[in-house]
A and B are shown apart, each in its own frame.
Chain A
Amino acid sequence: MKRITVIKAVLFAAALIPAAALAYGFYQVYTGADPNALTPNPGDYITDQTGTWTLALLVISLVITPLRRLTHWNEVIKVRRMLGLFAFFYATLHLLTWVWLIHLFDPVEMIKDVAERRFITIGMATWLILFALALTSNTFAIRRLGRRWQSLHRLVYAAAIGGVIHYWWLVKADITLPRRWAVAVAVLLGARLWWMWEKRQRHSFHKEGKLAG
């Protein structure tokens, strides 16, 4: 088996661990086997965990391109789509906790929440971006959209920023954790901006060179 195939399989299993742990805890609470399995406030805990893992997987998927560039390990790109889809998977679980464990499927409450609370508004927008990216992540869509696919999928940067702002706006006093995610996203997007700027510099240098010559 190819090395990247093995890595991919391992990552797949690892990315499922948080969901599996939550599912097991949910089962224990639901059956009454251990009512405190997910802390005495399981609804809050699940919301927090699924949100955190969404951010984690978004950030990890954003690490892939710089990693490839720095190490010239080209085949690593083959795990990027899977990681992005896992980010969407956790974002969807996170959305479901909001629909079910916070609003008990009440549409009026949900609409009110999206309209009135900016952290919910931006959270919802972020999920919609991830949804669009997940829908167009298959080979068919990539072929069909052609050059537009790349522009569309640059929205992942907006999703990462949106996720961090969503977290920042919802915490009560302690910004330690959202700040950590903000730094991670800033470094990853900063690196891309730096490379873009570098590329443009080289480009204009060549142009000027030609004119002079």
Chain B
Amino acid sequence: MLIKKPSDIRSSEITPKSLYLRRREFIQATAAGLVAAGVAACTEELGAQGGGLPKLPNVKKGSPFNTTEKLNTYEQITSYNNFYEFAPGAGDGPKNASHNFKPGNWKIRVDGEVAKPADYQLEDFIKPYTLEERIYRHRCVEAWSLVVPWVGFPLKDVIDRAQPTSRAKFVKFTTLVDPARFPMQRTNLLDWPYVEGLRLDEARHPLTILVVGLYGEQLPAQDGAPIRLVVPWKYGFKGIKSIVRMEFVEKQPVNTWQIQAPNEYGFYANVNPMVDHPRWSQARERRLPSFFPTWKTQMFNGYADQVASLYNGMDLRKNF
């Protein structure tokens, strides 16, 4: 007798031979799809991506100085800022005027009261230092603020390499002059070149960094490519952009905005909710994007624990 056992596998479940032979392709394609989806999810999580500029290699993450506040998107950071060399006023003017700016072949001079003055090619200047991400609050003197993931290195390392003499009391920074690339330098909008300065102890503070990147990528032109200063407890205009010179000096430098309006902008420019700008209050700020100045401005932009001791005994109302 022949007992007919039903087949274990129904014919409908049998994979056609052609597909079966392509199973490897199928697995690979699916895996790639999953990876792509994963990457997309990650970048979305970051708040937004980057601008397609070259990635910076070996960036150390997780600095203890990082804020845990919500990051602003790449789009917001790069389309709302001041950079008078490109265009006057905050907004997307600097972004739109900076499309042709290529920071190639950049040189930096370190000189003045130092044992080791030198002219560097930017790549050589940066090479000895470890790049790290620093997520800082950025408070503009115009009462708006952002949270920015900068990439850079402590200015202190540069100072140590230059070996300032005992006469060095301040560091004076200068922005590139090149009216071909900085169109507003053809006008007398500001007293060019843009100049900023720090007291030596401020410059050596571990929070003070030279920045070469943003969101893990090279710094875009409108944010101060290829190298800028970031001093997070001071108003944004202290963060001089596109630096070509660091000079160690004995006398306090006169910074550009102080020349422009000495009653409105001082040398120190520490974030201070108690000292108003003559034309507006500094007690509150707009944490962008927002309609309302509901964010209470913190003393030294929230970095008081780290930096308040630098100003012991100083009248901050006078030294605004």
Q: Do A and B bind each other?
A: yes
Instruction: Give chain A's interface residues, CB within 8 Å of chain B.
Output: 29, 35-36, 39-46, 101-102, 104, 109, 113, 117, 119, 170, 172-174, 176
Within 8 A of A (CB), among B88-124: 88-92
Q: Known: A36-B75, A41-B80, A101-B291. Contact between A173 and B190, CB under 8 A?
A: yes
**Can you list 21 contacts pairing A with B, beta carbon distance less than 8 Å?**
A35-B289, A36-B75, A36-B289, A39-B79, A40-B76, A40-B79, A40-B80, A40-B289, A41-B80, A41-B90, A41-B91, A41-B144, A41-B288, A43-B290, A104-B293, A109-B281, A117-B280, A170-B279, A172-B142, A173-B189, A173-B190
Give the residues in chain A near B75, CB-CB below 8 Å.
36
Shortest beta-carbon distance, A183 to chain B, in Å? 18
A43 touches B260 (CB 8 A): no
Give the residues in chain B near A39, CB-CB below 8 Å.
79-80, 91-92
A37 to chain B: closest residue by CB: B289
A43 touches B291 (CB 8 A): yes
Size band of the interface chain B makes with A: 20 to 34
In the complex the two chains form, what is the Cα distance from A102 to B284 in whole Å?
Answer: 10
- The dominant DSSP class at the B interface is loop
B291 touches A29 (CB 8 A): yes
What are the 6 A-B residue pairs with the smallest beta carbon separation, nearest first? A174-B88, A40-B80, A40-B76, A40-B289, A40-B288, A35-B289
Residue B6 at the chain A interface, CB threshold 8 Å: no
In the complex the two chains form, what is the Cα distance from A113 to B261 in whole Å?
Answer: 20
Shortest beta-carbon distance, A38 to chain B, in Å? 9
Give the residues in chain A near B294, CB-CB below 8 Å.
104
B92 touches A173 (CB 8 A): no
Shortest beta-carbon distance, B102 to chain A, in Å? 26
Q: CB-CB contacts of B274-296 with A at 8 A, as 1s and 0s?
A: 00001111000010111111100
In the complex the two chains form, what is the Cα distance from A104 to B295 in whole Å?
Answer: 12
Give the residues in chain A near B144, CB-CB below 8 Å.
41, 44
Give the residues in chain B near A176, CB-CB below 8 Å.
88
Give the residues in chain B near A36, CB-CB below 8 Å.
75-76, 79, 289
Q: Which of A35, A42, A101, A119 contacts B279 (CB 8 A)?
A: A119
Q: Known: A39-B80, A40-B76, A173-B260. Contact between A29 and B88, CB under 8 A?
A: no
